[in-house]
Amino acid sequence: MSTEFLAQCSAIVGDSHLLTGEAMRPFLTDWRGRFTGSALAVARPANTQEVAALVSLCAQHQVPIVPQGGNTGLVLGSVPDASGTAIVLSLARLNRIRNIDKTNHTLTAEAGCLLQQVQQAADSQDSLFPLSLASEGSCTIGGNLSTNAGGTAVLRYGSMRDLTLGLEVVTAQGDIWNGLRGLRKDNTGYDLRDLFIGAEGTLGIITAAVLKLYPKPAARMTTLLAVDSPAKALALLTLAQQACDASLTGFELLSEFCLQLVEKHFSALHTPFAARHPHYVLMEISDTESEAHAQALLERLISSAIEHDLVRDAVIASSLSQSAALWALREHISEAQAAEGKNIKHDIAVPVSHIAAFIKDTDALLQTQFPGCRMVTFGHLGDGNLHYNVSAPAGQSDTEFLLQQEAVNLCVHDQVHHYGGSISAEHGLGALKRDEIKRYKSGTELNMMVAIKRALDPLNLMNPGKLL
């Protein structure tokens, strides 16, 4: 069957775009290099019609499909398992900006467009697409949609679900649903769009999307603030929201150990303070008036924060290069931690009001159970999303420490559940957290998800073994 099937795949995408053997390897290994799966082939369709033809063919032969964008995921959601029975369907060639409607403030992009490409297309029309991620030069819009990516500006603009008006989707049967409607109001039945966003390719394959654009701000101001604790950072967040309202775009929490790692592994980057502090807040405001207005607003906020004993020190970027340098401290944390050694990552969310208690209590529990473990805590404090990562104690090999990963995850995720949170804020479940989620979701919730999966993908061919 496979020889005939692969010949038919080749007829759809062309011989040069059906990869087998060693040419598949980059598509089979996850972003962190911890797992390499197997596949019949990697197919690289050029357009939605070729995607639909491939899916229809796979349904006919009952061959599983693993959709893949930039393959930057962290939960094994975009790579095949070890069975070798699936094809990887790479959307990298679906990379056109189809339309920009300045009056409707929308941009229609294909799923294989890099996030950075979409940002630049919006910028060329004096508009803003506000999703911003450290991987924006390699992650794709399809991947962003499949995991409902958030990034650093969720506080102001929301996640991908909030930034999307319409979708084009190839269903599990190979039909094309054209839902590319740039409507902000459409009350005509079930919201199919929201079913596919965040579904990790398990219900169908997103091939294009209508995305929201925003006016470019007149000015952006970035500040790094030294604080004593996450509790003080939360109080600062409340003060900033009161003072800045919708101008508050980003509010990131960084622990001191995060910046120590960045400075250790990236010698060109350093904190701007003479003294060290337990925690830092990286804050950005986007002003609709002027740079002078933004700076005055920020200076008043910082003065008030110091008066309320919330901030120990502060620096305001006075140029774009200084702002980029401050953001570089945040964006290099994951790379610095990787350079330090393998680690146990957690992409969690808890209600904003519980973040300080969660960090304090869970830090203490981890130190009791895994003495000397080092916490790399950073994330989007404004929307309750923390990257709460655990590195091996100094002197212990990361290989030895990773043997405790299951126990570390259980400790952290039980705490997340205790505080009413989620064990995946923006990375998805993939294969890595697929079984673990059963511990935290109710049977009713899981049954509804299974019912949706069976209704839309009765043959279980769309990214099987992921999410459910």
Q: How far apart are CA 49 and CA 67, in angstroms?
A: 15
**Parallel, antiparallel or unpaired: strands 41-43 and 87-90:** parallel
Cβ–Cβ under 8 Å, residues 358 and 415: yes
- Hey, what are 373's tokens? 């473990």
* Domain annotation for the chain: domains and CATH numbers: 2-90 (3.30.43.10), 97-215 (3.30.465.10), 219-334 (3.30.70.2190), 341-439 (3.30.70.2740)
Residue 320: its pLDDT value, please?
86
Instruction: Give the containing element (helix H, strand E) for 168.
Output: strand 164-171
Q: How far apart are CA 375 and CA 261, in angstroms?
A: 11
pTM of the model: 0.92
Q: How far apart are CA 9 and CA 1, in angstroms?
A: 12
Residue 1: its pLDDT value, please?
56
Residue 151: its pLDDT value, please?
85
Tens of pLDDT, residues 196-232: 999 999 999 999 999 999 999 999 999 999 999 999 9
Q: Which amino acid is at 417?
A: H
Tens of pLDDT, residues 94-119: 999 999 999 999 999 999 999 999 99
Tens of pLDDT, residues 220-276: 999 999 999 999 999 999 999 999 988 999 999 999 999 999 999 999 999 999 999
Number of CB atoms found within 10 A of residue 15's CB? 8
Which residues lie closer than 8 Å to 35 by C-beta, 6 or more apart?
A: 29, 76, 79
- The DSSP call for residue 286 is E
